[in-house]
Structure 1
Amino acid sequence: MTRLRLPLLVVALLALVCAGGYAVLRSAYHDEKDRRDLSDLTRSSPWPPDDLLVPDDLPRSGTLGWLDRLGLDIAYGLRTRDGRTVPVVWQQHHPAPDGSLADGVDCDVRTIHVCTDAGDGLTLVVTRDTDNSDPATALYLFAADQVLSVSVQGPDPVTADDLRGALTRTHHPSDGELLALLRGPGYQTDWS
């Protein structure tokens, strides 16, 4: 009976060592894949990943981000002060070469855009519904070599206070948070 237990113990020990080795190799594979994906997804960014910002209150689901040579865009549902959730696009972009607002907004065109100083370096832009534009509300924050903005397309009534937190409460995302944001549904790489 003792002779039978020793081989079973050796087999069990070998199985445990092999399973542990497999887990270590699998973890290393996923870590390497994450590093490659992050490099691939941030390659065209105008800033290194450490300089990117995201809003503090991003929901864990229903959030989609993309990054290109223009900057970072994040689409998500923003909770307003009255409890509604409105779809917004949050952006971190470079200002236009002349220092104006991003995305072609020209505050001098008063028939389309109404720009208001919202204090603390923030500019509220309301775009009217016209033949060539849909109504929208956006808040912009100029900071050094970047413009942060959050905008609501359509007639959803929002105030500068509803949008302010998305621009003033931000943080630098961890690699994992950035990967979760930029890896859209069905994201594939050559090494996936």
Structure 2
Amino acid sequence: MSRRRLVLAAVLLLVVGGIGYAGLRIEHHHAKNQRDLADLTRLSPWPRDQLLIPDDVTGPGTVGWLERGGLDIAYQLRTADGRTVPVLWRLRVPQPARGLPAGVDCGSPRVRTCTDLSGGSTLIVTHDTDNSDPSIALYRTDGAKVRAIEVQGPDPVGVDELTAALTRVHRPSDAELLDLLRHDGYQTDWS
């Protein structure tokens, strides 16, 4: 074999080996992503294709948690006047008798003021008391799910803006769910 053919054969083997290695790495990452996604969504009360997230949920600092009670997402809501306000957006399982998630109670008007906005929407204002911080939240009952958005603290946000955050939603892709639920340092296995 001539030297030229030997070099050509070596280069060809390196190229084919590199392509094979790259393909194996891609497949390894895909398999790990699928394992992580299965682990991160295993406690969900709904299948992945029934989950919803707000359309404007992308951005640095956005983080989500999915558990038996539902999905919680903390992110920065951009208001009509250009401010960004930290909010907690939720997709929760309603209690059968009241239609609101567990822990949400309108029984004490001294603590909370609840207003029925019709169409399955309830506005809840939590007053500043000894055991609670002031907040405003909008809950929307949607069959076997309750969507909610809550603003903690003094930042005023209009009902229209809260309603928009609840209605402008989409079914997340697997990549969006991974980005939202897989926090820094998350590891399902040691591979």
> 1:46 aligns to what?
45
Distance 1:133 1:103 in 2: 17
> 2:27 aligns to what?
28
Partner amino acid for 1:186? G
CA deviation string 1:33-90 (max 9, x = no partner): 0111011001111111111100011123211001011110000000111111011110
Q: CA RMSD in A?
A: 1.5
SS of structure 1 residue aligned to 2:32: helix
Report the Cα offset of residue 105 of structure 1. 2.4
CA deviation string 1:77-117 (max 9, x = no partner): 00111111011110111112322422422223211111223
> 1:118 aligns to what?
117
How high is the TM-score relative to the length of structure 2?
0.94
Unaligned runs of 5+ in 1: none
SS of structure 2 residue aligned to 1:90: strand
Partner amino acid for 2:49? D
Residue 183 (structure 2) pairs with residue 184 (structure 1): yes
SS of structure 2 residue aligned to 1:24: helix
Residue 165 (structure 2) pairs with residue 166 (structure 1): yes
Distance 1:154 1:28 in 2: 46
Report the Cα offset of residue 163 of structure 1. 1.1
Which has the larger displacement, 110-119 or 126-135? 110-119
Identity of aligned residues (%): 57
Partner amino acid for 1:44? L
SS of structure 2 residue aligned to 1:125: strand
- Contact between 1:122 and 1:141, CA under 8 Å: does it hold in 2? yes
Report the Cα offset of residue 32 of structure 1. 0.7
Distance 2:3 2:98 in 1: 81
CA deviation string 1:109-148 (max 9, x = no partner): 2111112233443211111001111100101110001100
How high is the TM-score relative to the length of structure 1?
0.94
Report the Cα offset of residue 162 of structure 1. 1.8
Unaligned runs of 5+ in 2: none
Partner amino acid for 2:135? A
Distance 1:113 1:105 in 2: 10
- Contact between 1:148 and 1:167, CA under 8 Å: does it hold in 2? yes
Residue 148 (structure 2) pairs with residue 144 (structure 1): no
Distance 2:190 2:30 in 1: 12
SS of structure 1 residue aligned to 2:2: helix
The aligned length equals 191
> 2:4 aligns to what?
5
